[in-house]
Amino acid sequence: MGFSSNLQGKIAHEALLSRQDAELRLLESMKRCITLKVKSDRDYATALSSVAAQGLKFDRSDELSGSLVGASWRSMMEEMDNTAKLIRQNADSMESKCLDALNSLYTEKRKARKLYQEEHSRILQQFTHLSDEVSRKKSEYQKYLELYKLARYKFEEHYVKSGRGGRKLDEVRDKYQKACRKLHLTHNEYVLLLCEAVEFEKDFRTVLLPGLLEHQQSLQEAFISTWKQLLIEIATNSDLTSEKFREVQRKIENSIESIKPSEEYKDFTEKHKSSPTEPVKFTFDESLVEDSAGKLLPNQLTVDNLTVEWLRTKLTDLETSIKENQEKRTALTTNHEGLANGNSTLNNEINNRLSTTSIDTSRKEVNELKCQERKMLKQTELIKSALNELGCEEAPAACDLSIDNQNFISNASEQGDGSQSTLSKRSMFEAHRLVSMLRKPFRRKSLPSSPVAPPRSRSRKDSSGARSEGADPVSLTTNKSLVDEEWFHGVLPREEVVRLLSNDGDFLVRETTRNDECQTVLSVSWGGHKHFIVQTTAEGHYRFEGPAFPSIRELILYQYNSGLPVTSRSGAILYKPIPRERWELNNDDVVLLDKIGRGNFGDVYRAQLRNSNEIVAVKTCRVTLPEEHKKKFLQEGRILKQYDHPNIVKLIGICVQKQPIMIVMELVPGGSLLTFLRKKSSTLTDGQLMKMCLDTAAGMRYLESKNCIHRDLAARNCLVGYNNVVKISDFGMSREEEEYIVSDGMKQIPIKWTAPEALNFGKYTSLCDVWSYGILCWEIFSRGDTPYTGMSNSRAREKIDGGYRMPAPESTPDEMYRLMLRCWEYKPENRPNFEQIYSVVETLCAAYRVTFC
């Protein structure tokens, strides 16, 4: 299938030229590609070298000395650098050899194409030329043939006409001869030309064109052979599996092969060999509990009213976690067994290794879970035994004020000279105050209707086992319900209960709400205060540890009459039922008449006491409020019951027998001072206003002397009584302390009435009340205006910190305004106390000749 026999046609000739053009284009493209490949290989080699250099940097420290993995990595990086070198060498060689060869092949091929085209044109031209000559000669031949025919016709015509002579005939004959000659010559030329053409045509077809094509074919094939060599060279220089590269790979593989997990840490272990760590002993630092008066014991959980719920929740959480942990562990163990069994069927080494690792991991996880579980089980045991200890006892109070104060007193008296006393002056004060509280008879108009059952001779035994006389027996009077018993104290707060139970064996019964459930609690003084929750049996009977009874009353009476301990753990025996105090009124003793106000905890009513018909004011606490709020509500009663002063609203009692709990107070008919000032602004004289300032100063002087900080002194919290006497009220925020630091945020703070140190640091003293007193006087003289009118709370605070003080309300006496400014001294120590304030206001009142001063 050679060119010569197959490619003679015109179309084949064109195709051959196109093919050569395409090959030239391919060569050009190859040149471009090889140039790019050389460049990219060089770039890659450079990048690879720098990666290898980076990878070798790990080797700078000697922490990895002796590491087989390290050595293998080093070798891998070195071989990576060698790979880079090889790639660079190949690129150089490709550039120098292949690119040059490609260039010359391109030139040669171009030249060959050109020559072929020229030669082909030349022989084709010869043939065309000859063909043209033949045509031309043939035309010439035809022309001379016509001329000859004409000349012969003329000669024959003359010859016939003139006979055989004459000049004209000669001329005609001559022309005839010339035409004949021309025709014959042309004929011969034509014959010769045709002979040449025939020969040439034969040569063109059989010799010249095939020869040219044959030559071209051999040239092309020679080019292809060079081309092939070139491609071989390119392939060789691009071969990453060549021996040189394989050598690199072998070295890497050998270095990896030399890694032996068991030997990896041999040198390291040798170098850092040390003895096993000493076990760390975690011990309870006993000095931590030295000051806890035995409430906190080393290594023992403290179960009290503040922690019991937390402990129960913690126990539930722990038990849930233990269960989850066990489930996880079972799942892991099953999985682990599955992996171990599947091992034998796995041939692939990697898979084997992976499953071994998985088994190790799951084994490790199982161990960790076991450790966690052990920890949790230990904690569970600890909590359970602490809670079991408690039994049916209500958790003891964490802070039992009455005990603390009794301790204070006995400690203080034991200290004798006082010089070695560790008690602060304040604690001593507190102790005395509490003692007087315990002793002081409480103001009450009506006495309890049903006294405690008659005394029965039974000796009192203290918690140490010694007996003492004086126990009151209780008889089981029929038809009496628990609430009728004088020793039933309703929902009296626990803090009050512990204050009432002072001797071992003293007891009372009360109610409490826990998790929305009402529980009846027997509170007993027995080496501290114990609170036993009455347990309900499946039959609906009541019991502690002993027999069950159909009613709580019977249970308590049994406990009292039998002289048996309530629980064996506590050993607590009931000796003396403690009746309700005078101020513990029955809810039914109070008849609510009409609503006269609305407080934070509930509505305020005008009411009547059933026994004395006295008209009183009653603050109620909404039944739906949480227990904490109810305690806060009663706080006012707790504080007020100790005070007796004409300018302090008086407490008559509290009703805690059932819900709603109530505080019964003297009715102050004029209502709140703020409303009063606003209503009567036009009629109030400066003298009356001065008198109001004096009343409040007197009340505050009294509170200051009692170490009571009111914390919310303002016109809205004062009441106006007969003859416009002002009484300080609303002790909801009050604290009986010299200094009170707020730690539970500053919610609902009356910003515009509160001193800067209380706002900024939560630090309250009576001198904070002095600041508020200044504002109260401003309210009085402005006849009920809002302080810092038009300013927001934060703006007022900012301004005060910047030194701003309110101007005096119109018609304020100068001395009074000077007093206000002294009350608003930024530093509390620069403010007057209420003793001083009272004497200033008293003098001013006298100067105003106010008759009632």
750 binds ligand ADP (CB under 6 A): no
Which of 18-26, 116-124, 663-671, 815-823 is the region at the interface with ligand ADP (rule: CB under 6 A)?
A: 663-671
| Binds ligand ADP (CB under 6 A): choice among 574, 607, 649, 651 | 649
665 binds ligand ADP (CB under 6 A): yes
579, 448 contact by CB (below 8 A): yes
Return the C-alpha torsion angle 606, 612, 613, 614, nearest 10.
-40
672 binds ligand ADP (CB under 6 A): yes
Cα distance between residue 309 and residue 518, in whole Å: 16
Catalytic residue chosen out of the listed positions 695, 712, 730, 769? 712
729 binds ligand ADP (CB under 6 A): yes
- The residues near 425 (Cβ < 8 Å, ≥ 6 apart) are none
Tokens representing 496 are 């009050």
| Binds ligand ADP (CB under 6 A): choice among 668, 684, 715, 758 | 668
617 binds ligand ADP (CB under 6 A): yes
Nearer to ligand ADP, 303 or 651 (CB): 651
732 binds ligand ADP (CB under 6 A): yes
Please tell me whether residue 554 adopts helix, strand or coil conformation: helix
CB of 804 to ligand ADP, least distance (A): 29
Amino acid at 86: L
Which of 24-32, 205-213, 727-735, 817-825 is the region at the interface with ligand ADP (rule: CB under 6 A)?
A: 727-735
Nearer to ligand ADP, 422 or 748 (CB): 748
601 binds ligand ADP (CB under 6 A): yes
Which of 209-217, 348-356, 420-428, 729-737 is the region at the interface with ligand ADP (rule: CB under 6 A)?
A: 729-737
Tell me whether residue 814 is one of the annotated catalytic residues: no
Please tell me whether residue 525 adopts helix, strand or coil conformation: strand
The gap between the terminal CA atoms of the chain, to the nearest Å, is 145
Phi, psi (degrees; rounded to nearest 5) at 304: -140, 180
Burial class (CB in 10 A: 0-12, 13-18, 19+), 4: middle
| Binds ligand ADP (CB under 6 A): choice among 213, 366, 604, 656 | 604
> Count residues contacting ligand ADP (CB under 6 A)?
18
667 binds ligand ADP (CB under 6 A): yes
715 binds ligand ADP (CB under 6 A): no
Cα distance between residue 236 and residue 523, in whole Å: 101
719 binds ligand ADP (CB under 6 A): yes
655 binds ligand ADP (CB under 6 A): no
596 binds ligand ADP (CB under 6 A): yes
Task: Looking at residues 172 to 201 of the shown chain, list those that interact with ligand ADP (rule: CB under 6 A).
Answer: none
The upper half-sphere exposure of residue 495, i.e. CA atoms within 13 Å in the direction of its Cβ, equals: 13
Nearer to ligand ADP, 369 or 607 (CB): 607
Nearer to ligand ADP, 503 or 675 (CB): 675
CB of 554 to ligand ADP, least distance (A): 40
CB of 701 to ligand ADP, least distance (A): 21
Nearer to ligand ADP, 230 or 719 (CB): 719
Cα distance between residue 487 and residue 491, in whole Å: 12
Tokens representing 539 are 């039959």
Which residues are annotated as part of the binding site? 596-604, 619
The neighbour count for residue 136, using CB atoms within 10 Å, is 12
Nearer to ligand ADP, 673 or 844 (CB): 673
DSSP string over 735-798: B-SSSEE--S--TT--GGGS-HHHHHH-EE-HHHHHHHHHHHHHHHHTTSPPTTTT--HHHHHH
Please tell me whether residue 780 adopts helix, strand or coil conformation: helix
728 binds ligand ADP (CB under 6 A): no
355 binds ligand ADP (CB under 6 A): no
Cα distance between residue 228 and residue 214, in whole Å: 21
CB of 490 to ligand ADP, least distance (A): 21
Where are the strands (E) in 185-311, listed by range? none
Which residues are annotated as part of the binding site for ATP? 596-604, 619
Paired residues of 523 in beta bridges:
508, 531
**Contacts of 201-205 spanning 24+ positions with Cβ under 8 A:** 201/127, 201/130, 204/123, 204/126, 204/127, 205/8
Nearer to ligand ADP, 649 or 780 (CB): 649
User: What is the pairing mode between strands 615-620 and 506-514?
Assistant: unpaired
Helices (runs of H) and strands (runs of E) counted in the chain = 23, 19
Element holding 675 (H helix, E strand): helix 673-679
Q: At what angle do helices 401-415 and 425-439 cross, to 10 degrees?
A: 110
600 binds ligand ADP (CB under 6 A): yes
597 binds ligand ADP (CB under 6 A): yes
Paired residues of 458 in beta bridges:
471
Tokens representing 372 are 């966690």
Which of 76-84, 668-676, 794-802, 814-822 is the region at the interface with ligand ADP (rule: CB under 6 A)?
A: 668-676
Give the residues lining the site for ligand ADP (CB under 6 A): 596-597, 599-601, 604, 617, 619, 649, 665, 667-668, 671-672, 719, 729-730, 732
Supply the residues annotated as catalytic. Answer: 712
